[in-house]
Amino acid sequence: MSVGKQVRMNRIRGVDGKILMVSMDHAAIGGPMRYLEDPDRAIAAVMAGSPDALLLTRGMLRHGWQAIPPQVGIVMRISGGFTILEGAQEFRDRVISTVEDALRWGADGVAVTVKFGHELEGEFIQAASTVADACDRWEVPLLIEAMAALRGSSGLAEDEALAVAARSAAELGADMVKIKYPTKEGNLVDVAAGCPVPILVLGGEKAADDEVLEMVSRAMRDGAAGVAMGRNVWQRDDPQEFLGRLRSAMGR
């Protein structure tokens, strides 16, 4: 990893090498969701729990940057291009900004989504690869959110499909991979072992505290480097308290 990427990665991860990232990029798709109505207030509530980094859209960054302490890493999402108004037929991420623009906004890293197993998988891969080239030129860490669609023709179990998606994201040039934890009695052991870059588990829809914390504990035991969690943090009345519990579940 280049010097520039290492310097920026050091702003994204904690001193112990683990990453507690809060994803606050949902309003671009879902609109003024509860707790995200006021970006500045939403970010300030999360900052009280001292995460290592935030995953933001440029809108959240524009309207909430003053609540972000200088030591907190900023990863800017540069893919998207759809909303809930589009319906379930598409929900296709497109690269809608550039690495250069993310740097202009003050970001330390960028994020894109790749939907492996999607009928347009090749287009997702091509777009992410182009972003990875720009990240290498500008020495900017790349977070790929790797989604794996289980198709009958693949014959893979969920954890096997996730292992393919995670490794493929790393092969494309990701410096971090954001991925779900298997839900069907699987684990992340093979996923983490087969991926040469840090694995961050996402939280998905808001769930019960104990369920989320147990999943994070299992993921860390399996070899994950941390979390990139959104609704399970900022959709709580007291995100500071939950972030403290999340930190403990990560073994900090």
pLDDT tens sequence for the chain (252 residues): 889 999 999 999 999 999 999 999 999 999 999 999 999 999 999 999 999 999 999 999 999 999 999 999 999 999 999 898 876 556 788 999 999 999 999 999 999 999 999 888 999 999 999 999 999 999 999 999 999 987 655 778 899 999 999 999 999 999 999 999 998 777 899 999 999 999 999 999 999 999 999 999 999 999 999 999 999 999 999 999 999 999 999 999
What is the distance between the terminal CA atoms of the chain, rounded to a whole angstrom?
A: 26
- Beta partners for 21? 53, 228
Q: Are strands 79-80 and 94-95 parallel, antiparallel or unpaired?
A: antiparallel
Superfamily (CATH) of domain 3-247:
Aldolase class I (3.20.20.70)
User: What are the CB-based long-range contacts (under 8 Å, 24+) for 76-79?
Assistant: 76/102, 76/105, 76/107, 76/109, 76/110, 76/111, 77/25, 77/28, 77/110, 77/111, 77/112, 78/102, 78/110, 78/111, 78/112, 78/131, 79/111, 79/112, 79/113, 79/127
Which pLDDT score is estimated for 197? 98
Which pLDDT score is estimated for 151? 67
Which pLDDT score is estimated for 65? 97
Which pLDDT score is estimated for 149? 83
d(CA 126, CA 124): 6
Q: What is the DSSP string of 52-115?
A: SEEEE-HHHHHHHGGGS-TTSEEEEE-EE---GGG-TT----EE-S-HHHHHHTT-SEEEEEEE
Which pLDDT score is estimated for 143? 98
Which pLDDT score is estimated for 111? 98
pTM attached to this predicted model: 0.96
Exposure of 51 by Cβ count < 10 A (0-12 exposed, 13-18 middle, 19+ buried)?
buried
d(CA 238, CA 112): 29
Q: What is the DSSP letter of 173?
A: T
Which pLDDT score is estimated for 41? 97
For the record, the structure tokens of 247 come out as 């930190």
Residue type, 116: F
Closest CA to 167 of 142, 134, 190, 138: 190
